Amino acid sequence: MATTSDLSRVTSIVLRFMRTPVLVLITVYAIAILGMVAMPGQDAEGNPMHMSFFHAFYFLTYTATTTGFGELPHTFTNAQRMWAIVCLYSSVVAWIYAIGSIIRVIQNPYFQEAVAGRSFSRGVKRISEPFFIICGFGDTGSLLTRGLNDSGYTAVVIDNDGERIKALALRDYRKTTPGLRADASVPKHLIDAGVKQPNCQAVVALTNDEDINVKIAVMARLLNPSVRVICLASTHRRGEYLEALGRVEIIDPFDAFARWLGTALYAPLLHTLKHWLIGAYSFTLDKPWRPPMGTWILCGYGRMGQSLRNVLLARGVRTMVIDPDMEGAEDIPEEDKVWGYANANTLRKAKVLEAAGVVAATDSDPDNLGILISARSLNPNVCTIVRQSHHENELAFRAADADLIMQPSLITARDILFALISPLIQTLLDHLREHHETVLDNVTHRIETTLGGQPPHLWTVKICDANAPAVTVLRKQRCTVTIGDIMRDPMHRERSLACVPLVLARRQANVVMPDPSQALRARDEVLFCGTRYAERQVGATLKNEYTLQYLVSGMQESRGYIMKWFARRITPRTTTLDG
């Protein structure tokens, strides 16, 4: 229906703008043809004759293209030549007028929007693999789209800013990424983006306007109740409203920012492991970042600063707050507050010389860089964490040489990417957070040893008829298939592929770091961490019953009818000889 609507819209615009030019061309050609037929001519013997309608139309057709085949069917008389001159000039004027109208139609923004919408809708309908709808192509949206593409997933983008959609077409994505300039909160545009298609996995609302994000979540929830909806919302009121809708996941960038710092402070190895798994190559497992313990100074007490203080207080860390307004800081003791903008004077009052760290958490990148410079000039040994609000300022922040640069857009994009492509990873992280650090060390060592320095890659295997038909066939034959079996290398059965099972999800309970001897059941889900080569090999094994049979039993079953006949004939003879 959407494609038909777009086609009707394009057709109506073309007809409205081209109606007059077409009528002018038809009128000019009709008069010219009638005139050529009516003009007296003569044949080769000098007998009077008149040109036929076909010859008149043919003559005007090739002269309109400036080809000039000559006079036909006989040499023209002076009257015919005079009328031909009139026809040539009038048709040229008519064609100039028509071509100008065509150019105006092409340049018309409504026409361009209609054509782009129709092309976008048709492109989305051609997507046969699972895809995600990204509403908003700002910093967070562009980072999430890049992450999905790097992970091999297709994204469909809607943004109200035409310049961002133009920039989308220039990105070097591995996957084709359709983009549409439109308001994503309008149901028609969500339908064009494929929200009703069965292979649409999720709708992610990441615009800069939280009210629009809420509208997108509501519309997507109503258009497709089964689709997954993720919404960027930071206020408590919007969060409660979205929770009432059901099946809407809320991402609060400020809470995510605070949790990120809390994990870095008290579980540095877990913090490093999480970002290393998602592909943040600046994090290495051999050198986890360990911030110092002590008093931390929070420069800026907006929603970001409040979330940071709550997380730090829950860990028993004392905080000093510097802010000119102190809105919402009524419960903070006076000795822990410094009124004013963060500068050298207020940093001295906050005892920066004795502080363990300084967090520049305002929403202004220049102010945060200024705070960083002031803190370093007063205490060169203080740990500095700076918030970067805009991704385009990355070079300046790198030059500032902070101990840690925190980008809310990057953190939010990574959290959403985790939730989309590896939802089971949170089960692993929660388990590691609750247990002793030695468990975390063992898990980290096992993953790092298995990968052998190669970058990690996460993927999930679902045991079902569609994704693992080979397992289904063998289970019907009462053959037990384990996790270790599907991890075997088809080229060397005794050798395992470079992958580690992280989580086994079942209806009864989830198993973290399952043993390879664990038998697989229907509807199981296994989260693996390994190389892309290992993913391809595991996927091929799950779809080929003969390969899986060989990996399970060590024997290659005959495939063809002739070989199976020979196998049946040879087996009893072998038994007799053994007897």
DSSP string across 515-554: -TTPBP-TT-EEEEEE-HHHHHHHHHHHH-HHHHHHHHHS
Domains of the chain: 2-110 (1.10.287), 127-251 (3.40.50.720), 255-421 (3.40.50.720), 455-561 (3.30.70.1450)
> Strands 383-387 and 48-50, how do they pair?
unpaired
Residue type, 578: D
pLDDT at 235: 59
- Does residue 77 contact residue 41 with C-beta atoms inside 8 Å? yes
What are the φ and ψ backbone dihedral angles of 318, each rounded to 5 degrees?
-75, 140
Task: Report the distance separating Cα 317 and Cα 309, nearest Å.
Answer: 9
* Separation of alpha carbons 356 and 336, rounded Å: 15
- Write the pLDDT tens digit of every residue in 473-483: 888 888 899 99
Least confident stretch, 165-174, 218-227, 538-547: 165-174
pLDDT at 458 over 90: no
Does residue 5 have a pLDDT over 60? no
Per-residue pLDDT, 286: 64
Average pLDDT of the chain is: 83
Helical H runs in 195-278?
210-223, 236-245, 253-266, 268-277
**pLDDT tens digit sequence for 291-345:** 788 889 999 888 788 888 888 888 788 889 999 888 878 888 888 889 988 889 9
List, for residues 47-91, the tens digit of each pLDDT value: 888 888 998 898 888 887 777 777 778 888 888 889 988 998 898
Band the pLDDT of 579: cuts 50, 70, 90: very low
The percent of residues above 70 in pLDDT, for the chain, comes to 89
Report the alpha-carbon distance of residue 464 to residue 531 in Å, rounded: 23
Flag whether pLDDT at 576 surpasses 80: no
Average the pLDDT over each of 221-230, 246-255, 523-532 and give the range with the smallest value: 246-255
pLDDT tens for 364-400 read 899 999 999 999 899 998 988 888 888 788 888 888 8
Q: Identify the bridge partners of residue 528 per DSSP, sorted by sequence position.
A: 459, 501
Is there a contact between 544 and 488 (Cβ–Cβ < 8 Å)?
no
**Residue-wise burial string across 200-229, b where 16 or more C-beta atoms lie within 10 A, e elsewhere:** bbbbbbbbeeeebbbbbbbbbbeebeebbb
Q: How much of the chain exceeds pLDDT 90, in percent?
A: 21
Cβ–Cβ < 8 Å for 102, 112? no
CA 387 to chain centre: 24
Report helix, strand or coil for 327: coil
Model confidence at 415: pLDDT above 90: no
Cα 276 to chain centroid distance, Å, stands at 20
Nearest to 57 by CA among 26, 95, 97: 26
